[in-house]
Amino acid sequence: MIAAVLLWQTYMYFWHNVILVVGGNRFRVPILIHGTVSDLLRVHNIRLGPGDIVTPPLDSDATMPGIVRIIRVDEKLVHETHELPFKILSETITDDNLRPVRLQQGLEVTQFMDVKIIFHDGVEKYRIIQRERSVKKSMHRLVLTDDSGIIERIYDLSRTQKMKMIATAYYPGDPLAWKDGTITFLGQKMQRGIVAVDPRVIPLRTRVYVPGYGYGYAGDTGSAIKFNRIDLGVNNREEEKPWMHRRVTVYILEKAKTW
């Protein structure tokens, strides 16, 4: 019994328990009294990576304060692409044709970055931007809004199908266009923004945009409107004159149930 007590006292004199935290995992391990942190790691065969963080320092007494932490530090290089918010340089807002629209000219900016991500014990700690470049593209877009100004749809005109066409114009009560009042082929009331098309070329219920005229909706047909002809609905005879047999570019936006 006495021998056992002496053995235990001898053990306690030479050894001390230390809490070792490695990569977030905790262990209680023995260390010689006055042994350094470096001694502790060597005894327990713990190897350090080049970026690992040790607290307290390696030459410190491992028993004071009795807890040794090793944060495993890793890094990863990633390539990121970010689309920045569209930068508006100029904007024209109109509500002449059927609904409010905004014609915007601006910059579409794409940002490319090489980023070094630093992890502590497998958790992202911070990021360092190694290289960065931006690509700017001039862009025209058409924005459809509701009456309160809330955006419903955005069309990038640079990526939209477009057609070269010959424009004419007509108006409510136009004697050359109407036989039975001012109701369009789709049963809608004729108004500025309704356009007549050849459905074989531009399907009915298609949203379109014509520079200088504005937003339009293919809601009508006409016996003289064939092939690459488009008839633009206007308010009166005076508005009709500038559009007679005029070459235009028609942007085909999309088919939609309503304008």
pLDDT 10s digits, 214-232:
999 999 999 899 999 999 9
Looking at residue 171, its pLDDT comes to 92
Given pLDDT bands bounded at 50, 70 and 90, which one contains residue 12? very low
How many percent of the chain have pLDDT more than 70? 92
For residue 101, give every residue at least 6 positions away whose Cβ sits within 8 Å of its Cβ, in sequence order, or none: 93, 94, 95, 142, 143, 144, 145, 214, 215
Long-range CB contact pairs, 88-97, < 8 A, 24+: 94/214, 94/215, 96/192, 96/193, 96/214, 97/192, 97/193, 97/213, 97/214, 97/215, 97/216
Of 137-141, 151-155, 180-184, least confident by mean pLDDT is 180-184
> For the domain with range 2-71, which CATH number is right: 3.30.1490, 3.40.1130, 3.10.20, 3.40.50?
3.10.20
Res. 75: pLDDT tops 60? yes
For residue range 104-128, what is the model confidence (pLDDT) as tens digits?
999 999 999 999 999 999 999 999 9
Of 31-40, 104-113, 132-141, least confident by mean pLDDT is 31-40
Looking at residue 236, its pLDDT comes to 93
Which CATH superfamily is 160-255 part of?
Answer: RlpA-like domain (2.40.40.10)
Looking at residue 16, its pLDDT comes to 77
Looking at residue 182, its pLDDT comes to 81
Tokens found for residue 83: 């689309």
> Hey, where are the domains in the chain?
2-71, 76-156, 160-255
For residue 98, give every residue at least 6 positions away whose Cβ sits within 8 Å of its Cβ, in sequence order, or none: 191, 192, 193, 194, 215, 216, 217, 259
